[in-house]
Amino acid sequence: MSSVRRSSETFNDGQIALLERVARGAPLSETLNGIVLLIEGRAAGMLCSILLVDKPAQAVRHGAAPTLPHAYVRALDGSRIGPSAGSCGTAAYRGERVIVEDIATSPLWADYKDLALPHGLRACWSSPIFSPEHVVLGTFAMYYLEPRGPSPEERLWVDTATHLAALAILRDRAEAALRRSEGRLRAVIEHTPHVSIQWYDANGRILFCNLASERVFGVSRAQALGKRLDELNFPALESERFIETLRRVAATGHPVGPMEFRFVQPDGRDGVLLSTVFQIPTEDTESCFVCMDVDLSESKRLEEIAHANERLRAFIYNSVADIIFCLTVEGEGQYRFLSVNPAFLKATGLSEEQVVGARVETVIPASSLPMVLDQYDRAIRNRCTVSWDEVSTYPSGVRYGEVTVAPMFESNGRCTKLIGTVHDITARKQAEEERRRFELQLRRAQRLQALGGLAGGIAHDFNNIITAIATYVDLAMGDVPDGHPTTESLVEIRKASHRAAALVRQIWTFSHPTEPKREMIDLRVVIEEALDLLRVTLPASIQVRTTFAHDTPKVCADASQLHQLVMNLGTNAAHALGEGGGIIEVVSDRIDHHVDDDASPPNSNVGAYARVRVIDDGCGMDPTTLERAFDPFFTTKPTGKGTGLGLSVVHGIMQAHQGTVRLESAVGRGTTAILLFPDLQGATHTHESSMASSP
């Protein structure tokens, strides 16, 4: 009895040792070998093995067989599970104990006996190893060297062995699953590309950080470990805020965040992190805090760029001189103003409240609405930008505009908006109308001027005839004695001649206006005023340039006549340039008088002149045309295009101002008209100075 008791105590001690080994997490192969040896130690001549079930492959794998022949163990490794797969394969398949007392004769071993018999193995029985859920984890097998079956004690021992093996297998699988789970978690933490993760102790020192954290800190993980944020690239205030956050998490036990923290990016630019902090249990320290960061630096930068672009868009939208408007398309033929720029409100005279949110038919004048709606429909139908000229009457008055509208389409092909611009050409239209009125006035003035010239010539001739008539009447009356019957007739003739002379004087007054109003005038001011008016009448292909010398003398002249001078010369220059356009240059300066100057004004005692040159690069004139340029009614223009009085008027005005005009021209080289005005103010000063110094 004492021997049996000692054997039982030894067996129990072996079980306890194995259980401790399982609890310790010893390697599975070591534990399974210990179980096999424990059972084999109970009965001499009994060889044991443990096979593990490979469920995906539906096969058994070697688990432990310390005393079985190695060749046999290798041959069975990977054997398929089935209804006739030896003792172990069949037990795993059926989920029940399988006893084979003679391998040589058992049909279950028909395919395996040639593996067992050469090694002296004659009998084998196997019990499944179950999980608590009754899932087969493996099999425990006992081999005999002679045909036989198990004893009741051996059955009991194997039951104990399968229980111990189940504990070891389940512990190993649980640890393997935990290791896989930890590996997956670590892989997720390590390789999360856009989330930086760190673990901190209670003092804010880094215990762990993933790869993404290196991009935030700008240093390697090894360099970051053990450091606080202010020892890396975070401002001291931000580091203190973070430590205060850790204290809040520790005090409340609840996560804090998301909240923003500022830091300095590795490239020196300011960065922003969106962080969430929470606490997790750990074995290494009293507390461990996890911080998960999303780097918002790039999105913040893009947001700032978007805001800057929006501000720029708003600035352009509000500052551009052209009209801009946006319409939302609510349905076929139905449009509503979504937004307009200030230029729209200024041009129309409407308020923002009257326009934004209103349907187009309440804003666009009724006279223009059908055409406008048709153009909108055409833009949407043809999916293209359309343009047209429009004239409408708004509270601000009649407005002329060049309108352009472009449709905006969504991904589904539906047009949702129309973007339009209007180039306001009202000023240009008004200038064109003003130019037409001016041209009409100019033509009328030219006709009147021509009539005046004709009347002056006729008046001069008639005056000579009337003078002769009056003279001969007076002589005849001297020759006729008093009381002669013809005396009365001669008296009537003399009265008629006096009336005719009065009529001639009226015609002469019409053809020779009164003396112009003279005053000291700055030529630059008068010329610029005249050119401003001239530019309105010129096509865009003609440029007008001016150069005014600072020492140009003032002249004593009539401003309206000087205007007429510049207008006539400028108009002639524009006609010379033709449709091809070109440059008209007006230059004023001071010039001294020279005795040999064949174009000197009649005031030979004047030493200086104000010179004005009107230069064009037009067709020029040949010598014959140049010689007759100042002749009244002479013109090279087609019939109806000119009167031929322009240069004649210029010549007359210059003579009336004691000045002179001359032309320099050549075919293909343009024309220069030179006006010389005497510096009467300078001459007066010189004369007074000389008189003051004389004895």
Write out pLDDT tens, residues 62-85: 989 999 999 999 998 989 999 989
Binned at pLDDT 50, 70 and 90, residue 636 comes out as low
* 663 close to 615: Cβ distance less than 8 angstroms: no
Residue 2 pLDDT more than 50? no
Residue 604 pLDDT more than 60? no
Binned at pLDDT 50, 70 and 90, residue 451 comes out as low
pLDDT score at 693: 30
320-424 CATH pick, 3.30.450.20, 3.40.190.10, 2.40.50.840, 3.40.720.10: 3.30.450.20
* 34: its two tokens: 């210990």
Nearest-angstrom CA–CA distance, 566 and 614: 8
pLDDT score at 244: 93
Tens of pLDDT, residues 360-370: 999 999 888 99
Tens of pLDDT, residues 304-359: 888 887 887 778 777 778 889 999 998 888 999 999 989 888 888 999 899 999 99
Average pLDDT over residues 475-481: 81
* 448 close to 503: Cβ distance less than 8 angstroms: no
pLDDT score at 511: 56
Q: Say which range, 336-345, 476-485, 543-552, 577-586, has the weakest mean pLDDT.
A: 476-485
Average pLDDT over residues 91-114: 92
Instruction: Report which of residues 214 and 646 the model is more confident about.
Output: 214
Tens of pLDDT, residues 152-184: 888 888 888 888 888 888 888 888 887 787 777
430-511 CATH pick, 1.10.287.130, 3.40.50.300, 3.90.1150.10, 3.30.70.1450: 1.10.287.130
Binned at pLDDT 50, 70 and 90, residue 447 comes out as low
Binned at pLDDT 50, 70 and 90, residue 691 comes out as very low
pLDDT score at 14: 62
2-177 CATH pick, 2.40.50.70, 3.30.70.2740, 3.40.430.10, 3.30.450.40: 3.30.450.40
Residue 106 pLDDT more than 80? yes
192-301 CATH pick, 3.40.47.10, 3.30.450.20, 3.40.50.2000, 1.20.120.160: 3.30.450.20
In the block, tokens 């060297």 appear at: 145
Question: What's the pTM value of the predicted model, to 2 decimals?
Answer: 0.39
Residue 686 pLDDT more than 50? no
Tens of pLDDT, residues 497-554: 876 775 665 455 445 555 557 788 888 888 888 887 688 678 888 888 999 998 888 8
Candidates 229, 225, 221, 180; CA nearest to 204 is: 229
Ramachandran angles phi, psi of 258, nearest 5°: -75, 145
In degrees to the nearest 10, what's the CA dihedral of 69, 71, 72, 77?
120
DSSP one-letter code for 107: G
Q: What does the radius of gyration of the chain's CA atoms come to, in whole angstroms?
A: 59
Nearest-angstrom CA–CA distance, 556 and 658: 10
Nearest-angstrom CA–CA distance, 524 and 546: 9
Binned at pLDDT 50, 70 and 90, residue 296 comes out as confident
Amino acid identity of 217? F
Handedness of CA 525, 528, 532, 533 (dihedral sign): positive
pLDDT score at 449: 65
Give 116-122's long-range contacts (Cβ < 8 A, gap of 24+): 116/72, 116/143, 119/68, 119/69, 119/71, 119/72, 120/145, 121/47, 121/72, 121/145, 122/146, 122/147
pLDDT score at 532: 79
Nearest-angstrom CA–CA distance, 511 and 505: 10
Residue 633 pLDDT more than 80? no
pLDDT score at 165: 87
* 288 close to 199: Cβ distance less than 8 angstroms: yes
Tens of pLDDT, residues 121-157: 999 999 999 988 899 999 999 999 999 989 888 888 8
Average pLDDT of the chain is 82
Residue 93 pLDDT more than 60? yes
* 265 close to 271: Cβ distance less than 8 angstroms: yes
- Which CATH code fits 519-685? 3.30.565.10
Judged by phi (left if over 0) then psi (alpha if -120 to 50, else beta), residue 565 lies in: alpha
Residue 102 pLDDT more than 90? yes
Candidates 655, 668, 659; CA nearest to 621 is: 668
Question: Start-end ranges of CATH 3.30.450.40 in the chain?
Answer: 2-177
Beta strands in 16-69 (DSSP E): 47-54, 59-64
DSSP one-letter code for 80: B
* Polymer length in residues for the chain: 695
Cβ-based neighbours of 47, under 8 Å, separated by 6 or more? 40, 65, 67, 68, 121, 142, 143, 144, 145
